[in-house]
Amino acid sequence: MEIENLEEYRLIKASMDGLVACMDDGSKMKKMLLHVCSSGGKSIRPIILMLCTEICGGHRDKSVNAALAIELIHSASLIHDDVLDDGIIRRGVESAHKKYGVPAAILCGDFLISKAISLISSYGTDSVLEFGRAGMYMAEGETIDISSNGTEFGRQNYYECISKKTASLFAASAAIGAYVAGADREKAMMFRSFGESVGNAYQIVDDLLEYLNRLEDKQSNFESVTLPLLYERSFGREEAVILTVREVLIHVNKAKGILDNFSDSVAKDKLLLVTNLITVDMLPESVLGTG
């Protein structure tokens, strides 16, 4: 099964399409949002949120607006990220700032963040705090990333960067999903740890694919310092791949171990499926066995 076949994916896509459809047809903002939506993201983070709600006994319909808020702030972060990195292609589509200019792209991201805040504000305090925390961490992580070219940037710096820039929103998505279902803080923190592990694995896989020149739908004029590059400096290219794959598996296994604490269910099976699809299943067979 592919992510696009999940009912949760279809619900998020319909909500996103509905949001844009309600805007004035003559609005330049609507044109930009239609362009952003045309890139066809997989809505991974909001799907995780909805599945965590279901695992905790809640109904996914109750979590749709929270999930949409997550997707909107993620989309905003990609727009702003492309401005900072001078990204040219994102998901096979011309980046917003290349098509509409930097000022318009920044404002489009601001619009998405504002709408995301309005959506998440209808939920409880715990969900709002998780959302705000993730937003701040994402900005901090981006700051670390754009300063990563120095020789003093090491493995610890890399993990601080990806845990904030990428994993924080995965963590918030999972925790918010639990809170929406009425879960207590202890359970929500377990899901937050799950999300952080999945987010770390996801980013390391993405960095490894870029290192192996396997990313065809993304092009940027800025190169971040990534885990495989750091390992290559010390151990050479072949060993760098082996060590990087090993770390992916550590994070994936940790995430799956957390889910072992919850009863079997259709939602849990879906979450395990999504975890695999966005991490180990993305790796070429030629490198997967090296870990």
What does the pLDDT look like over 118-162, one tens digit per residue? 999 999 999 999 999 999 999 999 999 988 877 789 999 999 999
Calculate the alpha carbon distances from 139 to 42, 110, 136, 186, 223 in Å: 22, 13, 5, 27, 18
Nearest in space to 43 (alpha carbons), one of 1, 74, 81: 74
Task: State the Cα torsion 284-285-290-291 to the nearest 10°.
Answer: 70
C-alpha distance from residue 23 to each of 4, 17, 35, 116 (Å) = 25, 10, 14, 16
CA distance 78 to 279: 20
Report how many domains make up the chain: 1
168-198 confidence digits (pLDDT tens): 999 999 999 999 999 999 999 999 999 999 9
Measured between alpha carbons, how far is 106 from 7 in angstroms, rounded to an integer? 32
Residue 81 structure tokens: 């990220």
* Full residue range of the structural domain in which residue 182 is found: 3-288
- Rounded to the nearest 5 degrees, what angle is found at the Cα of 161, between the Cα atoms of 52 and 99? 85
- The yes-or-no verdict on residue 66 having pLDDT over 90 is yes
User: Could you tell me the CATH number of the domain that includes residue 176?
Assistant: 1.10.600.10
High-pLDDT (> 70) share of the chain, %: 96
Say if CB 98 and CB 92 are below 8 A apart. no
Q: Indicate the pLDDT class of residue 108, thresholds 50, 70 and 90.
A: very high
- Summarised one tens digit per residue, pLDDT across range 5-59 is 999 999 999 999 999 999 998 899 999 998 888 777 899 999 999 999 999 999 9
Locus of tokens 């209808």: 122
DSSP state of 260: T
3-class secondary structure, 81: helix
